[in-house]
Amino acid sequence: MSSSNSKSMGLFARYLTIWVFVSIIAGIASGAFFPAAFHRLGGMEVAHINLPVAILIWAMILPMLLKIDYSALHKVWNHRRGIGVTLAINWLVKPFSMALLGWLFLQHIFAPFLDADKIPEYIAGLILLAAAPCTAMVFVWSRLTNGDPQFTLSQVALNDVIMIFAFAPIVGLLLGVASISVPWNTLFLSVLLYIVIPVIIAYAGRKYLLAKGKLENILHIFDPVSMAALLLTVMLLFGFQGQQILAQPLVILLLAIPITIQVYFNSMLAYCLNRKLGVAHAIAGPSALIGASNFFELAVAAAIALFGFESGAALATVVGVLVEVPVMLSVVSIVNRSKNWYEQGIGRSAS
């Protein structure tokens, strides 16, 4: 890759937030002006997983998976403090803090501005959103913070195993429902699409490319492809909901506020706990991002299964989708900009 291409990619990455904002506006406008085209794209799904978005996510996560030295995965045990922090945030803090924020903001502060009959459904949607950690996009966030790829893969895989057993009981407890209809097809297909198949492809591809001495060249080629895929994903997600956003902007905004607070609270809690425990920045970054992000495909599918397609719960999970990318990018920026502060704190605790 030429130095001019590297320089242009650096410039592009530096102003990524601006490009994301442009993509959001373009997505909303495109969804509003060309609804039929976006309805067709939105309808291309299996088990509530949108196939065009899934393809774009593959383009984003494969470069990171290609960087992983799979023979060194056993060393992840050395990062058990970071794993412990992430697990505690994901399963002992996030669902319960979201339930509290939903009750505080929607049941009380914003209640005069919302349909009273919809408020319990909105809160249920927020809980569903927070009860499942993200499976795919965290690979992208980890890569943008120079996170340890072995740690990220191991943490995501561990969360997926726990999710199979913990998602329904936690949601049932917080919603006060005796039994939860878990959309198992969405859960298992997501794990297959975003973990199992990409890891197998990356493992075989890495071995082949290393043998041919072409791994670095391929990763350089993937860089602009990954960036373009991220922006197209943003545009599609906002395009799918363009009419909804323009039709009820106040409801969208009010639902976005507790979700946004939730993301910052959980990410910064994980980040600071890792710093207190002396965890390396390359582990703390992905730990904070995994601790804050949500598995929106599962949340949307569960909301539709429990409350219906037109429900307030389904709308709340969709707002989570819209908030996810821009807010998580801001968390990435905080993690990157605070690296010196973070490492100085580790140095003091070690001395």
pLDDT in tens, 136-183: 889 989 989 999 999 999 999 999 999 989 998 999 899 886 566 778
Read off the pLDDT band of 4 (50, 70, 90): very low
Question: pLDDT tens digit string along 183-241?
Answer: 888 888 888 988 899 999 999 999 999 999 999 899 888 878 888 888 899 899 899 88
Among residues 4, 53, 46, the alpha carbon closest in space to that of 231 is found at 53
Q: Taking a C-beta distance cutoff of 8 angstroms, is the pair 345, 163 a contact?
A: no
Give the mean model confidence (pLDDT) for residues 236-251: 89
Confidence (pLDDT) at 71: 82
pLDDT > 70: what percent of the chain? 93
Indicate if the pLDDT at residue 351 is higher than 70.
no
Read off the pLDDT band of 77 (50, 70, 90): confident
Confidence (pLDDT) at 12: 59
Indicate if the pLDDT at residue 82 is higher than 90.
yes
Give the mean model confidence (pLDDT) for residues 120-133: 93
Indicate if the pLDDT at residue 10 is higher than 60.
no
Kindly give, in sequence order, each residue whose CB lies less than 8 Å from that of residue 42, ignoring residues fewer than 6 positions away.
50, 240
Domains of the chain: 45-350 (1.20.1530.20)
Confidence (pLDDT) at 6: 46
Indicate if the pLDDT at residue 23 is higher than 70.
yes
Indicate if the pLDDT at residue 350 is higher than 50.
no
Mean pLDDT of the chain: 88
Indicate if the pLDDT at residue 2 is higher than 50.
no
Confidence (pLDDT) at 179: 65
Confidence (pLDDT) at 13: 62
Confidence (pLDDT) at 11: 57
Confidence (pLDDT) at 75: 80
Q: Which amino acid is at 86?
A: T
* pTM as predicted: 0.87
Give the mean model confidence (pLDDT) for residues 2-24: 66
Confidence (pLDDT) at 5: 45
Read off the pLDDT band of 3 (50, 70, 90): very low
Structure tokens at 180: 């939860």
Confidence (pLDDT) at 72: 78
Indicate if the pLDDT at residue 271 is higher than 60.
yes
Give the mean model confidence (pLDDT) for residues 266-275: 97
